[in-house]
A = this chain, B = another copy of it.
């Protein structure tokens, strides 16, 4: 197998005005055939720097993918820099010129003079046809490396890559597969997950298994490398099964599936309906559920009872109970969930009541204290968590916990296993 280098060109990338999504897209395409883009370089619209990046890419890897700077304007310098790196001049390319003429003729337009530069290629390079734009790509050989240059407009990059570069990659990598899979979990910290996975995470294993964390979701990443696609898939299937056996209900989805999607799918499969009664999350749990197409089959609606009067008026929470226990309490979380379940006529109801901050905390109920209530046919239970971070983080994490409680309840698992949750009422409260 071989490596690749990726060079992305543009002031907007270097200034941070645009997030570079092209590089990740190209990396995925390369990685799926076992090619690792071990060097990514980003450089501004500067002819000498682009030239040096071509040279560094070719020194580093046998394949070099370059994106950006092929437009018709003055800050598009990639073709000039490619010629500099090759030590050649630009020359009009008949195929590129024919493409431009056809492009404009097909649209009934006259080609602007400024676009003529797009027919100029470094001597000795050849065209990568662009089916969706004026800027053709180019390929050439630099110091023994194959260099592919494409526009930075994602749609054009994708089209050129798929039509002209992918077939070359497929031919060059025949018989080598690197497949990845991401198993998403929520409810245990990364260290706990690493402890549970233990020996599965050996660095010399194949598939290798690693973890990453984002917004409380611990993703378990599998990576299998073989000479046969079916075998790679089977290896991933086996590894996924081993991970699922150890992680149980904490696993909610694979690859890009979100927790709310998993929750709605599970509720649908089991024909369970759910309602929401939210205080501190203020509609975030409802919004997450209704993000999912088809959620109306399991979710008729919910309440945002931010003020205590709304908890009493709409969910029938006893005002005296709120007065006695406080709105952020085991009792009120249970009463909110019970009220929502009764009013909506559903199987399950989930409630949240907490102190998202930045103010409102006390010694016994600091900012980040959140109670979660769950009502079902058997009555109600509640758990609390002390969540860290600012208001947004507390609310986002509370939303995720609420969704995972619903999943656990639908699966018949005990939500108390979720690492942040405690069922016991803290002393002094």
Q: What residues make up the interface of A, taking CB atoms closer than 8 Å to B?
A: 8, 10-21, 23-31, 36-46, 49, 71-75, 112, 114-115, 132, 153, 155, 180, 182, 190-191, 194-195, 201, 203, 210-214, 221, 223, 276, 278, 281-287, 289-291, 293, 295-296, 299-307, 309-310, 313-314, 343-344, 356-359, 388-389, 391-393, 395
From the candidates B17, B306, B358, B393, name the one contacting A28 in the complex (CB within 8 A).
B17
From the candidates B28, B41, B295, B306, name the one contacting A16 in the complex (CB within 8 A).
B28
Indicate if the CB atoms of A73 and B304 lie closer than 8 Å. no
Q: Give CA–CA (A194, B113) in the complex, Å.
A: 12
Indicate if the CB atoms of B283 and A191 lie closer than 8 Å. no
Q: A286-B283, A291-B392 are in contact. Are A13 and B24 (CB under 8 A)?
A: yes
Residues from chain B with a CB closer than 8 A to the CB of A391 are 291, 293
From the candidates B221, B223, B290, name the one contacting A282 in the complex (CB within 8 A).
B290
Residues from chain B with a CB closer than 8 A to the CB of A28 are 15-17
9 example contacts (A-B, Cβ-Cβ < 8 A) are as follows A16-B24, A16-B29, A16-B31, A40-B42, A114-B191, A155-B393, A282-B289, A283-B290, A301-B303
Indicate if the CB atoms of A304 and B303 lie closer than 8 Å. yes
From the candidates B21, B41, B303, B359, name the one contacting A19 in the complex (CB within 8 A).
B21
Q: Give CA–CA (A41, B282) in the complex, Å.
A: 41
What 17 new A-B contacts, CB under 8 Å, besides A11-B210, A282-B291, A295-B306? A10-B212, A15-B180, A16-B26, A17-B212, A23-B42, A36-B44, A38-B49, A40-B42, A41-B41, A72-B190, A74-B210, A283-B287, A283-B302, A286-B287, A290-B306, A299-B306, A300-B306
Indicate if the CB atoms of B40 and A44 lie closer than 8 Å. no
Q: Which 10 A-B pairs have the closest CB atoms?
A: A282-B290, A16-B27, A283-B286, A283-B283, A16-B28, A40-B42, A300-B307, A283-B287, A301-B310, A16-B24
Q: A180-B15, A391-B293 are in contact. Are A304 and B276 (CB under 8 A)?
A: yes
Indicate if the CB atoms of B73 and A358 lie closer than 8 Å. no
Indicate if the CB atoms of B180 and A73 lie closer than 8 Å. no
Q: Give CA–CA (A306, B292) in the complex, Å.
A: 13
Stoichiometry, as copies per complex, reads: 2
State the majority secondary structure of interface residues on A. mixed
Indicate if the CB atoms of B43 and A38 lie closer than 8 Å. yes
Query: Closest approach, in angstroms, between the C-beta of A297 and any C-beta of chain B?
Result: 10
Indicate if the CB atoms of A40 and B41 lie closer than 8 Å. yes
Indicate if the CB atoms of B112 and A191 lie closer than 8 Å. yes
Query: Closest approach, in angstroms, between the C-beta of A158 and any C-beta of chain B?
Result: 11
Residues from chain B with a CB closer than 8 A to the CB of A38 are 14, 43-44, 46, 49
Residues from chain B with a CB closer than 8 A to the CB of A21 are 19
Q: Give CA–CA (A126, B300) in the complex, Å.
A: 55
Indicate if the CB atoms of B293 and A287 lie closer than 8 Å. no
From the candidates B12, B14, B36, B389, name the one contacting A221 in the complex (CB within 8 A).
B12
